[in-house]
Amino acid sequence: MKKDSAVELSGVKEIARRANVSIGTVDRVIHNRSGVSEKTKQIIQDIIKELDYQPNIMARRLASNKVLNFAVLIPAVSDETEFWAAPLNGIEQAENEIRQYGIKVEKYYFDLNDKQSFVNLTKQILKTAIDGVLLAPSFIDESLAFTKQCDQLKIPYVLINSDLPKQDSLCYIGPELFHSGYLSAHLANYAIKDNGKVLIINISREIDNHHHLLRKEEGFRAYFDDHDKKLTIVKDDIRQTDYASVASSLKELLKAHTDAEAIFVTNSRVVSVARYLQESDHQKVLLIGYDYLKDNLAYLKDGLIDFLICQKPQEQGYKGIMALYQNLVLKVDVEKNYFMPIDIITKENYQFYRN
């Protein structure tokens, strides 16, 4: 009723007409299903190429009433791991956008302090029928075991926030850590005189497991090497993360180095340093740390923290889900490595920041 015959057709119908076959057969070759003679297959493929046929995704999703299941495995959000609220947020945003297209997202939260919880969840996930996985590979060996199984089952997976060495992931979406340290050094450098002094502080119970902290430190140091800057770098590892312990470590450290002009904290625990500086009424020193978290922002506003480095945690979650969607539904290629921008947050721009 709508189309008069003068209107040019397109889509499977037109292909079928030209090839003198039914649309069912066209569908078969489009999806590379078996049961088509080589000859008709060739004819149809030629026509598809000639017409530059683009399937209508909406119609496809509508007709194939299939739902796709994505599993998400990320750390649970807690006071200590507030960071993970942001990726989760992005994941849920993506979920809302593509629910329309028949995507279901099942979320699994592991305890960052409990390897076993991670392992248990991977087992649970593998028991269900899933089409794709979004993974934060916090525990390296355990993650490798999991991704290996995904490989075998031909389930694509996306890594966020930290990478796994040479895995066959669909893609990695997250920071390039070395450069964030390098950038921090540039910023710190504005406050450091020649022959001045800077402190690097790692605050983590698992400094040795958490190689990502070390990558930032390397980047930080590299900057000064590259620029032949003469300065003293003092590094301190603090392995007790409760505030009281951190404070007492800092007390000693700062007493020994009253001349430090800048402090670089390699993660979001910069908040403890800021708090200590405030409470001890320490003289102003340039302070750089990580992550757009509520407590950090408070000290940023107060001027105790000068710069926060942030790498769009929410977008990591969002992009992660969308990468699966693009690959599985739209059948398009996705970038193998999507490095997040290294954002500099200050008192003046934090209110406009978008995670």
> Applying CB under 8 A, which residues contact a copy of itself?
2, 56-59, 61-62, 65, 100-101, 176, 179-180, 182-183, 186-187, 190-191, 223, 339-344, 346-349, 351-354
CB of 122 to DNA, least distance (A): 29
| b/e 244-264 (16+ beta carbons within 10 angstroms → b) | eebbebbeebbeebeebbbbb
8 vs 242, which CB is nearer to DNA? 8
1 vs 244, which CB is nearer to DNA? 1
- How far is the C-alpha of 165 from the C-alpha of 226, rounded, in Å? 27
116 vs 346, which CB is nearer to a copy of itself? 346
54 vs 283, which CB is nearer to DNA? 54
CB of 44 to DNA, least distance (A): 9
| Residue 100 contacts which entry, DNA, a copy of itself, none (Cβ below 5-8 A, type-dependent) | a copy of itself
Residues at the site binding DNA, with contacts judged by CB under 7 A: 1-3, 10-13, 20-25, 27-28, 30-31, 34-41, 53-56, 59-60, 62-66
| Residue 96 contacts which entry, DNA, a copy of itself, none (Cβ below 5-8 A, type-dependent) | none
The token pair at 322 is 């969308």
- How far is the C-alpha of 332 from the C-alpha of 228, rounded, in Å? 46
CB of 23 to a copy of itself, least distance (A): 16
How crowded is residue 227: how many other Cβ atoms within 10 Å of its Cβ? 10
Name the strands in the sheet holding 68-75, side by side, starting at the edge strand that comes first in the sequence. Answer: 103-110, 68-75, 132-135, 157-160, 171-174, 337-339
49 vs 354, which CB is nearer to DNA? 49
CB of 227 to a copy of itself, least distance (A): 9
Beta partners for residue 101, in sequence order = none
| Residue 131 contacts which entry, DNA, a copy of itself, none (Cβ below 5-8 A, type-dependent) | none
CB of 288 to a copy of itself, least distance (A): 12
CB of 27 to DNA, least distance (A): 4
47 vs 340, which CB is nearer to a copy of itself? 340
| Residue 352 contacts which entry, a copy of itself, DNA, none (Cβ below 5-8 A, type-dependent) | a copy of itself
Using DSSP bridges, classify how beta strands 343-345 and 307-310 pair: parallel, antiparallel or unpaired: antiparallel
Exposed / middle / buried, residue 164 (Cβ in 10 Å: 0-12, 13-18, 19+): middle
| Residue 147 contacts which entry, a copy of itself, DNA, none (Cβ below 5-8 A, type-dependent) | none
- How far is the C-alpha of 239 from the C-alpha of 248, rounded, in Å? 12
Tokens 């721009």 — which residue? 349
How crowded is residue 194: how many other Cβ atoms within 10 Å of its Cβ? 7
CB of 100 to a copy of itself, least distance (A): 6
| Residue 49 contacts which entry, DNA, a copy of itself, none (Cβ below 5-8 A, type-dependent) | none
Radius of gyration of the chain (CA): 26
| Residue 152 contacts which entry, DNA, a copy of itself, none (Cβ below 5-8 A, type-dependent) | none
- How far is the C-alpha of 37 from the C-alpha of 196, rounded, in Å? 77
12 vs 300, which CB is nearer to DNA? 12
| Residue 340 contacts which entry, a copy of itself, DNA, none (Cβ below 5-8 A, type-dependent) | a copy of itself
Q: State the SS3 of 69-115.
A: EEEEEEECCCCCCHHHHHHHHHHHHHHHHHHHHCEEEEEEEECCCCH
- At 303, which amino acid appears? G
CB of 135 to a copy of itself, least distance (A): 22
